[in-house]
Structures are given as structure tokens and as C-alpha cells.
Amino acid sequence: MMVFALQNYTDVFKALSDETRLRLLYLLTTAKKELCCCELTDSLEEPLYNVSRQLKILKNAELVVSRKEGKWVYFSLTKNRDAFTKGIFNTIASLPHTDRMKKDQENLKEILLMREEGKCLHGVLKKTSFKTKKMSPH
């Protein structure tokens, strides 16, 4: 069981105050399995540097843990869950399904089909729609 100091709670609430981090936690809570950083990146259709930075903040807040396997880094929800952390994860899992969250889940479902023997082997995929959307002048 984790014992938090007041600063730890502050770190958790700060970590929850970002849309991308909420989307990452939502995918991890609903997937109920560890996900590779590149799978999360493709699911969110966000740049790798942004996803990586947001995962680091979640890790520093002790909400996620990482595991390196070869060149792949897998993330999962922290296993050391007290009532507070369980409550946070349950709340995130019960968030209303926004269009963006539905799209994230659809993307993840597609991406997980590419796994071989339960492992990510593809790296970050460059989606044409993502490149077009990000490079659009408006």
C-alpha cells in the first residue's frame, strides 16, 4: 500500500489537469493491459515527444509505471494502489465517452491488432490524416 505525503496528492492533481494525460490514463484504464509508448502515440494521434513528456509526468506522479523491453517502452497503471489511487482510476474509467476518447479507443483497437505474440513490433506509424491535420495552415 502506498502512503502519500501531501505533495504527492498535489502532484497527482496537477498530472490530472491536462487533456492529453487524461486521455492517456483513459486508454490505460480501459485497455487493462500495458501499452507501448508508440501505441499510445498512434492512438492519440499526437507527436511522440508530447506523449513521452506527458507519460513522464504521469510516472513522476506515480500513476503509471514503465517497463523497457528491447527498444520498446511499455506503460501500465501503477500496481501499488491505495484507496485514493483506485478512486482516481475508477473515476477516469467512468468519464463520459467524448468523441475524441472514442476515436482514441478506435485507434488503439486497430493498433493492437498489429501486435505479434502480444508485443508491439511496429514503432510509431505516421498516419496520413494526422500529418495533414497537423500541417494544415488554419
CB 65 within 8 A of CB 75: yes
Cα separation, 24 vs 46, whole angstroms:
11
DSSP 116: B
Q: 3-class SS at 77? A: strand
Pick the CATH number of 6-127 from 3.40.1710.10, 1.20.910.10, 1.10.10.10, 3.30.360.10: 1.10.10.10
Residue 5's nearest CA partner among 62, 56, 59 is 62
- CB-side exposure of 30: number of CA atoms within 13 Å? 21
Q: pLDDT tens, 10-61?
A: 999 999 999 999 999 999 999 989 999 999 999 999 999 999 999 999 999 9
Q: What ranges do the domains of the chain cover? A: 6-127
Burial class from Cβ neighbours inside 10 Å (0-12, 13-18, 19+) for residue 13 reads: exposed
Report the percent of the chain where pLDDT is more than 70: 88
